[in-house]
Structure 1
Amino acid sequence: MGRSKGGLKTKIHTRTDALGNPTGFYLTGGAAHDLCGSDELLDVSISQTWLADKAYDADARVIEPIKAVQGNAVIPSKCHRLQPRDFDKELYKARHLIENFFAKIKQYRAIATRYDKLASHFLSAIHLVSCVVWLN
Structure 2
Amino acid sequence: MIVKKIAVFILIAGFFSCHKAQQQAACGTQTCTLVFAQIGVHFADFNGSPASVLNFSAINQRTKQSTVPASPTGGPAEPGYYIVADDNGKKDFSTEGDDVVVSGTSPTTGQTKTVTYKISGGCNCHVEKISGETTIVFN
User: What range is the shorter-chain TM-score in?
Assistant: under 0.3
Max Rg structure: 2
Give the structure, 1 or 2, with the largest relative contact order (CA under 8 Å, sep 6 or more).
Answer: 2
More helix by share: 1
TM-score of the superposition, structure 1-length normalised? 0.26
TM-score of the superposition, structure 2-length normalised? 0.25
More strand by share: 2
